[in-house]
Amino acid sequence: MVIGPGTALVAIGAGLAVGFSAIGAGIGVGITGAASAGVTAEKPEKFGMALIFTAIPQTQAIYGLLVAVLILLSGGFLGGTAGDIPLPIGLSAVGAGLAVGLAGLSSIGQGIAASAGVATASERPETFGKGVVFSVICETQAIYGLLVAVLILVFSGLLSGNYLATTAAGLAAIGCGLSIGLAGTSAIGQGIAASAGIAATSEKPELFGKGVVFAAICETQAIYGLLAAILIMSFTGMFTGNLVATLAAGVVSIGAGLATGFAGFSAIGQGIAAAAGIGATAEKPEMFGKGIVFAAICETQAIYGLLVAVLLMAFTGLISGDMTLTLAVGFSAIAGGLAVGLAGLSAIGQGIAASAGIAATAEKPEMFGKGVVFSAVCETQAIYGLLVAILIMVFTGMITHNFITTLAVGIATIGAGVAVGLGGFSAIGQGITCASGIAATARRSEAMGRSLVFAAMSETFAIFGLLVAILILFGLGIFSL
């Protein structure tokens, strides 16, 4: 019996599947369990109801375990017959593990929603059904993760033992896993919105539909993640079995996956805004439309992520099947994906500002425009990320198909991507300032200018990131190519 690197990766894939989903389910069940413990201390007769809510965020761990068992079973680990599995199949198993494992983090959001469900259903038993529906909505992300994992296992032939993968396709599977897995965190935003929905519907049952709409808009990021995964599978030939062989194409897929995956975190901001939107709609039904507008603003980052993912696939020839790209460009694609994806987290700041905007608009309708301006301020970081991603695409020759060839240069661009991407996190701080600025402006309109100055100070660090990114790209000499 020979245990090769492929078999080792299969084991790692199983570990990732069960490990990451355990983190998610652990935290999610923990949050709900804490609420349940509190409720049953006061009302022991609510034990059964609390147990059902606490069990809801557990499913993610079950999905993780299921995929891990499937991987181990197919890899011969369970029968003690683990043989030499080809490296590409090992990579595919890692992709499947990442897909279901990372998507298992959705359990955190589900836990937030379910804990609100426990709290309200203990006071008003008639809200039980609605609480369960709101909690179950956050499961979609995990289901998408499971779906992609199973598709990878089926199409790579791991399940049937009829192996059908190239190293490039294996890497592409990792891209798929990152895309749907990381985007699964959008459930955290959805959970925040859903918990507000549960609270609102317990007071006003007629708000159920609107609450569900607010919660559902935070699912878009997961859908984009799923979409990118499907496109990657399709373009790398997984559906047809006509698999791509160019290694760089697999690396590009990872870049695309990182772009939509990390951009999926923007749903957390959207969830914060949507929760405020539900609260405002409960007080004033006419706030529904404006609440949706504020929440939808935070979706821009996800759109940038999806856009860059599709452009990366288009410009590198993945869509057209023109496989002349170099490995150096592949790594630049990772740089582009990180730039736009990580900068997508700026939406969290935007969501914080938007939630304040919603509150202010509910009180004073004339604050709508100013609220939107303050929220939009936090989007600059995302635009910097998009800018660097486009610069990378342009100057590594993706658009002209005059690809750079030096591998080290391609890897070095990742530095630029990380600089501007992580710099985008400064928007979270900026969002906090903007939220306060909105409140100040609502009280005194002349406070707007001063508040904007304070808000702009947080952006300095994003500009540092942008500057360093451009200096890196300049220093690499790619601007002169």
Partner 1 sequence: MGIHNAFRTQGVEALYSAGVMEIIPLKDQDSLQRESLDPGKRSELLEHCVQYHVRLNQVLDTFHEIPSSPSRALRLFLSPPDANPVPLSIISLSDCFTQVDRILEETAGALQSKSVLITIREKILALEKKQKDVARLLPFDMDLSMTGDSVLFSVTTVAVQKEESASFLQQIEDCGGKEVFSEKKSSETEDVVFLLYPACLRPMMHTLFRLPGITVLQCEQCAGFPREVLISLENEIHHYREQGIDEIKRLQDFRDRYEKTLLAFREEVRVQKEKLDLIPKCGTSRDVTVITGWIPVSEADSLSTALDGTTDGHAFVSPLTEGETAREAPVVYNNPSCLKPFEFLTTMFARPKYGEIDPTPFLAPIFIVFFGLMLGDAGYGILITLAGFLIFWNFRHSRSSLHGLSIILTWCGISAIIFGTLQGGWFGDVPSRFFGVSPPLVLLEPIKDPIAMFQIALILGVLHINLGLALGFFQNFRRKDYNSALMDQGVWFIIQPAAAVLMAGFFGWIAVSMNLAYLAVVGIVIGLAVIFYSRGPMGFFALTGFLGDWLSYVRILALALATGGIAMTVNILAQLIAGISPYLIVLAALVFIVGQLFNLIIQSLGGMIHSIRLQYIEFFSKFFVGGGREFIPFGMERMYSIRGDG
150 sits near partner 1 (criterion: CB under 8 A): yes
| Piece in contact with partner 1 (CB under 8 A), picked from 90-98, 144-152, 193-201, 426-434 | 144-152
Q: Do 64 and 26 form a contact (C-beta atoms < 8 A)?
A: no
Q: In terms of CB distance, is 102 or 142 closer to partner 1?
A: 142
CA pair distance 478, 467, nearest whole angstrom: 16
Tokens representing residue 187 in the block: 């459930």
User: Measured from the CB of residue 260, what is the shortest distance to partner 1 in angstroms?
Assistant: 11
User: Measured from the CB of residue 326, what is the shortest distance to partner 1 in angstroms?
Assistant: 22
Name which of 6, 229, 14, 39 is nearest 115 in CA terms: 39
347 sits near partner 1 (criterion: CB under 8 A): no
146 sits near partner 1 (criterion: CB under 8 A): yes
Q: By rule CB under 8 A, what count of residues binds partner 1?
A: 51
Helices assigned H by DSSP within 124-166: 128-137, 140-155
User: Measured from the CB of residue 150, what is the shortest distance to partner 1 in angstroms?
Assistant: 4
For residue 335, give the 3-state DSSP assignment. helix
Q: In terms of CB distance, is 306 or 342 closer to partner 1?
A: 306
Name which of 8, 140, 10 is nearest 71 in CA terms: 10
CA pair distance 332, 352, nearest whole angstrom: 32
Neighbours of 97 (CB within 10 A): 33
Q: In terms of CB distance, is 84 or 126 closer to partner 1?
A: 126
| Piece in contact with partner 1 (CB under 8 A), picked from 11-19, 40-48, 226-234, 252-260 | 226-234
* Interaction pattern, residues 63-82, with partner 1; x per rule: CB under 8 A: ---x----------------
Distances (CA, A) of 352 to 180, 241, 295: 25, 46, 10
- For residue 377, count CB atoms less than 10 angstroms from its CB and return exposed for 0-12, middle for 13-18, buried for 19 or more: buried
CA pair distance 393, 388, nearest whole angstrom: 8
| Piece in contact with partner 1 (CB under 8 A), picked from 15-23, 48-56, 88-96, 282-290 | 282-290
| Piece in contact with partner 1 (CB under 8 A), picked from 35-43, 46-54, 230-238, 261-269 | 230-238
Map the footprint of partner 1 across residues 351-380, applying CB under 8 A. 372-373, 376, 379
133 sits near partner 1 (criterion: CB under 8 A): yes
Q: What is the CA radius of gyration of the chain?
A: 23
Residues 6+ apart with CB under 8 A from 35: 50, 53, 114, 115, 116, 118, 119
Interface residues with partner 1 (CB under 8 A)? 66, 133, 136-137, 139-140, 143-144, 146-147, 150-151, 154, 159, 209-210, 212-213, 216-217, 219-220, 223-224, 226-227, 230-231, 233-234, 239-240, 285-286, 288-289, 292-293, 296-297, 299-300, 303-304, 306-307, 314, 372-373, 376, 379
